[in-house]
């Protein structure tokens, strides 16, 4: 059989961080000691009360399909969560459970973007977004952002870059790879531009809960017309359970359900039952303590990297990353990361994963490993670069 695979495959880029991780694991299998500063997932195992709730659901034989939009109890729990955290009433009917934020991003690409259209995205930004858009024959319309805009897409930039075929704006706050957060005013500005241009605003709030000393505002505090993506992966520490959610304007829900029925039939039943335990005060106390540990790690790693000569102009408000200008060391961050891994046993992610704008001069460090390993990573970097 020599029939080629579908043409769309040519446009889908690899998620390079996964490739770095794979190579790092290969080296480890050969006996090398690798400091992992590349992974985008919390290193803590899922909190025990969540695991126990999942286990109990299995023991009760709850192994059947659930509603395509998710189990009502979890949608209600999330509705209460929005009231408690943000003081907003979000009807459970507007909340859909999805297979991770990834599933939500794909659903929204299908719902909102016609072939030939696109969404404005910050460059650097989360790499899979552009690929989801390509899968629906659309495009990520990349807007270069730098330290001047705290690496975020502002209302002014959105207005400036808006094209005839722009369906809306997709931002993440706090963002991957930069950890930068949008203020309430900045969200308001984006809403204003989207309203003016009759486009959609999608805010990926996956790193909510992982902000350090500040609280991230939700766009839901400002509008019931924005789309919100979130996940149990990061703050809730459930990456492998594959569970997220999205909040949509009421009118979009039946359409999203139709898509979800066809694409997924149902979310993981066990994961949904487990997630119900995530909101208990005793579980939240565990998760908040982990957040505080991430803050300590950020506060350790940031000055160390700056002292080495990496450019990190702002202290990121949240997420799990430091996005660093490495131009003092390289104009080829891919090569740089490969050398760091192969020669010095430090795994970091090349900027190229996150876009094009000055990507060859940037790298992303994750603080998703314990303090001792971070110290070891810094020692190794000092040996080479210091």
Ligand X SMILES: Cc1ncc(COP(=O)(O)O)c(C=O)c1O
If one asks whether residue 171 binds ligand X (CB under 6 A), the answer comes out as no
Smallest separation, CB 11 to ligand X (Å): 20
Closest CA to 206 of 179, 233, 181, 188: 233
Of 129 and 154, the one with the shorter C-beta distance to ligand X is 129
What is the three-class DSSP state of 284?
A: helix
Of 125 and 345, the one with the shorter C-beta distance to ligand X is 125
# residues near ligand X by CB under 6 A: 13
Of 92 and 237, the one with the shorter C-beta distance to ligand X is 237
Smallest separation, CB 386 to ligand X (Å): 30
Among 223, 225, 239, 269, binds ligand X (CB under 6 A): 239
Of 234 and 273, the one with the shorter C-beta distance to ligand X is 234
Of 122 and 301, the one with the shorter C-beta distance to ligand X is 122
Going through the chain in order, the beta strands assigned E by DSSP cover: 35-36, 95-98, 118-123, 139-144, 166-172, 200-204, 227-231, 244-247, 321-325, 346-347, 349-350, 362-366
Closest CA to 104 of 124, 78, 84, 143: 78
Site for ligand X in 122-141 (CB under 6 A): 126
Of 239 and 327, the one with the shorter C-beta distance to ligand X is 239
Of 69 and 107, the one with the shorter C-beta distance to ligand X is 107
- Tell me the CA distances in angstroms from 366 to 96, 97, 202, 318, 376, one per residue in order: 29, 27, 25, 12, 14
Smallest separation, CB 244 to ligand X (Å): 4
Smallest separation, CB 249 to ligand X (Å): 20
Composition of the chain by helix, strand, coil, percent to 5: 50, 15, 35
Among 102, 218, 272, 330, binds ligand X (CB under 6 A): 102
Q: State how far the Cα of 44 lies from the Cα of 42, in Å rounded to an integer.
A: 6
Among 233, 266, 283, 333, binds ligand X (CB under 6 A): 233
Question: Which helix H or strand E contains 304, and what residues bound it?
Answer: helix 281-308
If one asks whether residue 101 binds ligand X (CB under 6 A), the answer comes out as yes
Count of CB atoms situated within 10 Å of the CB of 52: 12
Q: What is the largest CA-CA distance in the chain?
A: 59
Among 100, 138, 237, 377, binds ligand X (CB under 6 A): 100
Site for ligand X in 179-208 (CB under 6 A): 204, 206
Structure tokens at 331: 């104009």
Structure tokens at 86: 């943000």
Pairing of strands 362-366, 349-350: antiparallel
Smallest separation, CB 140 to ligand X (Å): 13
Site for ligand X in 37-56 (CB under 6 A): 40
Query: Which one-letter DSSP state was computed for residue 150?
Result: T
Of 155 and 244, the one with the shorter C-beta distance to ligand X is 244
Q: Kindly report the CA angle at 105 between 319 and 187, in degrees rounded to 5? A: 60
If one asks whether residue 66 binds ligand X (CB under 6 A), the answer comes out as no
Among 231, 304, 366, 368, binds ligand X (CB under 6 A): 231
Site of interaction with ligand X (CB under 6 A): 40, 100-102, 126, 172, 176, 204, 206, 231, 233, 239, 244
């Amino acid at each position: 059989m020599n029939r080629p695979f579908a043409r769309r495959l040519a446009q889908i880029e690899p998620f390079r961080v996964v490739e770095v991780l794979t190579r790092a694991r290969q080296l480890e299998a050969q006996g090398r000691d690798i400091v992992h500063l590349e992974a985008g997932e919390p290193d803590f195992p899922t909190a025990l009360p969540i695991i126990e709730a999942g286990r109990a659901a299995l023991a009760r034989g709850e192994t059947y399909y659930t509603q395509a939009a998710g189990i009502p109890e979890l949608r209600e729990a999330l509705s209460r969560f929005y009231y408690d955290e943000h003081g907003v009433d979000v009807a459970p009917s507007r909340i859909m459970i999805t297979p991770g934020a990834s599933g939500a991003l794909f659903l929204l690409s299908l719902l909102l973007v016609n072939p030939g259209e696109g969404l404005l995205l910050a460059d650097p930004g989360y790499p899979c977004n552009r690929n989801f858009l390509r899968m629906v024959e659309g495009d990520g319309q990349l807007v270069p952002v730098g330290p001047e805009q705290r690496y975020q897409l502002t209302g002014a930039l959105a207005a400036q870059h808006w094209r005839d075929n722009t369906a809306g704006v997709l931002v993440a706050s706090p963002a991957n790879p930069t950890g930068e957060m949008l203020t309430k005013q900045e969200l308001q500005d984006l809403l204003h531009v989207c309203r003016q241009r009759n486009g959609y605003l999608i805010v990926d709030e996956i790193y909510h809960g992982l902000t350090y000393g500040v609280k991230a505002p939700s766009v839901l505090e400002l509008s019931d017309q924005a789309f919100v993506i979130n996940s149990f992966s990061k703050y809730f520490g459930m990456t492998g359970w594959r569970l997220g959610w999205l909040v949509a304007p009421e009118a979009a829900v039946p359409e999203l359900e139709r898509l979800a029925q066809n694409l997924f039939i149902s979310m993981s039943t066990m994961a949904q039952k487990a997630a119900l335990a995530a909101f208990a005060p005793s579980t939240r106390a565990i998760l908040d303590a982990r957040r505080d540990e991430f803050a300590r790690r950020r506060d350790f790693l940031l000055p160390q990297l700056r002292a080495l000569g990496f450019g990190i102009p702002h202290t990121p408000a949240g997420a799990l990353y430091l996005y660093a200008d490495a131009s003092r060391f390289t104009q080829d961050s891919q090569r740089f990361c490969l050398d760091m891994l192969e020669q010095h046993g430090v795994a970091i992610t090349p900027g190229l994963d996150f876009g094009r704008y000055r990507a060859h001069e940037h790298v992303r460090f994750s603080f998703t490993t314990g303090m001792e390993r971070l110290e070891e990573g810094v020692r190794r970097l000092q040996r080479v670069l210091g």
